[in-house]
A and B are shown apart, each in its own frame.
Chain A
């Protein structure tokens, strides 16, 4: 079973920041928080991951609470192309292990 809890769906206005929450209260010390997204009719796509420090790349920012029990993925200026299912996953980094996906959050970007 997935070790994370996410809201089933969220709406965000185009051009605004989309903040997607994730709870992972049972995360282990060596597990990272990963985010993937899946646009309709495509395979999942890696977005970002982090251990305990906040991370930013060209796609998004990841904010992890100090106790590591929750995190937030931030899309700073959401566009219609960001409409997708977003999966929050906890796993050990740099391993061949399978990814255990939950149901994710379906993000709708509204024009």
Chain B
């Protein structure tokens, strides 16, 4: 079974520029998560989708961050304009509904963003 795919793996931009990240979850996983991980800290949830609907975006800085999952499969996260403090690893995770170990959250490798 293929894992969660993310691209790009690395991105360097200047402040005030825009950037977009892409995530393709594991096939059949209805729930998709975007987490932000600042250096030295644990990941923090930005937004959670159930199919193509938003479940939780309470921690998403909506003045600059946006995310969509139009067809309920892959998802994009955008930052416009970027600030220095957005430098972090952006992790995508997905989960299939149900009970059992196979229904835990599976994480992708992340996109490391550096804002100069």
Binding site for B on A (CB under 8 A): 2, 41-46, 87, 93-94, 96, 98-104
Contacts and interface: CB of A to CB of B under 8 A. Distances in A.
Interface in B37-65: 40-45, 48, 50, 55-56
Contacts of A2: 42
A34 B41 CA distance: 18
Contact of A96 (B4, B31, B99, B106): B31
Which secondary structure dominates chain A's binding surface? loop
Nearest to A89: B42
Interface residues of B, number: 29
A94 B103 contact: yes
A99 B43 contact: yes
Given A94-B98, A98-B33, A99-B105, A43 B42 contact: no
B14 interface: no
B93 A43 contact: yes
Given A94-B99, A96-B50, A43 B110 contact: yes
